[in-house]
A and B are shown apart, each in its own frame.
Chain A
Amino acid sequence: MNSPTDTLAQALRALVDHRLRTALSVLGIAIGIAAVMAVVTIGKGGNYLVFSELETFGLNSAWVYRDRNATPPGEPRRQGSGIDAADVAAIRARAERLGIRRLTPQVYPDRNMSITRGNRRVVAGLSGVGAAHVDIVNDELVAGRGFHTIDIVARHAVALLAPDVAADLLDPRHPGVGQDIRIDGRRFRVVGLLASKSRDFLSSIGSAGGRSADDRLLVPWTTLASMSDEPDTVDSLQLEVVEFDRAQRVTDGVRTLLKRRHPQGFEYGGETMASYIATTDRILGGVAVIGTVAASISLLVGGMGIMNTMGTAVLERTREIGVRKAIGATERDIMAQFLVEAALISFAGGLLGLLIGSAASVALAAVTGFPLVPSPVAILAALAVSVLVGVLSGWLPARRAARMHPVEALRAD
């Protein structure tokens, strides 16, 4: 039997002798591997982006709101959001039993409210929130303070500004807190500046209704409610649940409580971040499967390239195979020789594909802001898969070579 080093040396020699053909086959595999890698990178990067975007809303977040599409049969529809300040107090009193760590009411302006400072004017997302909001949604303050309970209770006219609003509205010579702005004509004191939360990629697609997370300002919910026609109304509740896995139960509990307090004319809905994440995972998983299948097809095409190359090589070297058999090569020797050649081609293709794929991933990361998540396991897997593709593709041609009849092979030209 032929020794491994001899086989390897001879395979290398044969491949170098047919540089062009070898190079084309290598390229075929390289493209396949690079395609698979790109899909995996995009999948991972996308997953990370979506996840980090969801994280800005707080992973343990859940929402409860009036479900306006549902009205219990036989009950008259009623106006309003179905949640009021007394409900908030009631839920807060039972927070621990319900599994709620924190909660914040959410109030949205019931009409278009101007946001100005002197002759500056911005269009931004205005919402009224509670003191816990900043903690629930993982907001960070770069200056000043968040809302205190006294701001909420006493309906203080104070505001927190996200970076874009601050940049557009505040005096650039004295950036920072302490300046006054006007909302719907009423004067508000800027007490805090929020850190940037923009995820360029996804916010451009449209979280928060196409509005960047950096393009918002917050005021106490009690203050904003007092400026509306229904000063007692809360639009929705955002909760931070104690246990991620029990988020759905928590919203169910809150809905039951609200329904008991408003027995006529209202139905409530609940959403949890946990269910969003599960849905997102399912969608991304589906996309990844489709992408991987598509990329695998190009790897398959690369494998067929190797099969073709090795088939040609076997035909061309029929006489050589006959000679080798005549001087004592076994079927295994011949088989090993061509399989090693095929494996070498695909291994080289795998390496090249990794290089191309890495370069493409780096470029992609630079353009889209994807974080690069290098994975040694994926690299080893890519190399292993490429060698496997080579061996599988080389199998039939190699077997044909191994089973050639020595006399007939020697007769070939």
Chain B
Amino acid sequence: MRGSGRASLSGCPDRTPVRDRARRHVIELTGIVKRYRSASLSLTVLRDVSLSIARGEFVAIVGPSGSGKSTLLNVIGCLDGFDAGEYRFAGEGVGALGADALAALRARRLGFVFQSFNLIPQLDALGNVTLPLVYAGDVARAHRLERARRGLADVGLADRLHHRPAELSGGQRQRVAIARALVNDPDVIIADEPTGNLDSATGNEIMATFERLHARGRTILMVTHEPGVAAHASRRVTLRDGRVVEDVPTPGAP
């Protein structure tokens, strides 16, 4: 019921008629190195990470804390730069993009879901979901509201359009965040511990939502430290000390 009536969810528009590989792999990382430097020390967080993610995959990135999984997610989400290696998003090199181009990429081709929801407190649900469209800037105002309304209905919040985050439960907030991540019809959804702040029942509910999105063809990249949550994904990438130490299909995946 929730998912009915959204034609755009059923498939990803192919924006890059470049190479065949780019068609299949929306994310291609080759030898990515990321260091944090301060005055006194230099810390290498990602060491030579290579990873390709095809369209339609649901990938869980797991690993102990400090393994670099959040940093990897930030790099893939174009929130953070990297020191060496190559990152191609839909066939296009990301390393050379300026701040505005990266912002445009985040606005139109990526959708973020955070552990602590990160809704804008002074905006109601509708306002929060509309915001990426506002920043993308290519959708007329009336149309924006309509899309946001449909997106919220899609996650079962049709009756919560004008509630502010403080007036919503944790699960509802995360569903608003998911609607916000989806509203631009992004190529990849990036989720950082999306169930970390929720009780297990609500967490399962959110994971069911992700599974449904995956089933409809969405590409999802999720960081988690909970094996049970990772089991919902179709592929599991394990990081340790900044290196990919395991990359396997998940047996329990649907």
Q: Distance in Å from the Cβ of B238 to the closest Cβ of chain A?
A: 22
Q: Are B79 and A410 in contact (CB under 8 A)?
A: yes
How many angstroms from the CA of A14 to the CA of B123 in the assembled complex? 9
The answer to whether B99 touches A331, judged by C-beta atoms less than 8 angstroms apart, is: yes
B interface residue count range (under 10 / 10 to 19 / 20 to 34 / 35 or more)? 20 to 34
Known: A320-B120, A324-B120. A410 touches B100 (CB 8 A): no
For chains A and B in complex, what number of residue pairs have CB atoms within 8 angstroms? 77
For the complex, is A271 an interface residue (Cβ under 8 Å from B)? no
Contact with A along B90-131 (1 / 0, CB 8 A): 000000000110011011100010100011111100000001
Q: Are B79 and A328 in contact (CB under 8 A)?
A: no
The verdict on A150 contacting chain B, using a C-beta distance below 8 Å, is: no
Chain A, 222-265, contact with B by CB distance < 8 Å: what is the 0/1 string? Answer: 00000000000000000000000000000000000000000000
Q: Is A54 located at the chain interface by the 8 A CB criterion?
A: no
Binds B, one of A1-9, A85-93, A97-105: A1-9
Asked whether B247 is an interface residue with its Cβ less than 8 Å from the other chain, the reply is: no
A324 to B131 CA separation, bound complex (whole angstroms)? 8
Asked whether B107 lies within 8 Å of A328 as measured between CB atoms, the reply is yes
Task: Check A327 against B132 for contact (C-beta < 8 Å).
Answer: yes
Taking the closest CB of chain B, its distance from the CB of A74, in whole angstroms, is 88
Chain B residues in 8 Å Cβ range of A17: 121-122
A76 to B: closest C-beta gap in Å: 92
Return chain B residues, CB-CB under 8 Å to A328: 103-104, 106-108, 132, 135-136, 184
- Judge if B227 is at the interface, Cβ distance under 8 Å: no
**In chain B, residues 174-198, which have Cβ atoms closer than 8 Å to a Cβ of chain A?**
180, 184
Min C-beta distance of B156 to chain A, whole Å = 21
A134 contacts chain B at the CB level, 8 A cutoff: no
Inter-chain CA distance A405–B80, complex, in Å, is 8
Q: How far is the CB of A185 from chain B (nearest CB, A)?
A: 89
Say whether A2 contacts B99, CB under 8 Å. Answer: no
**Contacts of B119 on A, CB cut-off 8 Å?**
323
| Residue among A2, A322, A323, A333 with the highest chain B CB neighbour number at 10 A | A323
Flag whether A46 is at the interface (Cβ < 8 A): no
On chain A, the residues within 8 Å of B68 by CB distance are none
Q: Is A284 positioned at the interface, with any CB of B under 8 Å from its CB?
A: no
Partner pick for A330 among B79, B100, B114, B180, CB 8 A cutoff: B100
Q: Provide the B148-163 mask, 1 if CB < 8 A to any CB of A, else 0.
A: 0000000000000000
Whether the pair B135, A326 counts as a contact (CB closer than 8 A) is no
List 6 A-B pairs, minimum CB-CB distance, nearest first. Answer: A328-B107, A328-B135, A330-B103, A323-B118, A406-B79, A327-B132
Q: A327-B131, A331-B100 are in contact. List 7 more A-B contacts (CB 8 A).
A: A322-B118, A323-B114, A325-B103, A326-B79, A327-B132, A330-B135, A407-B74
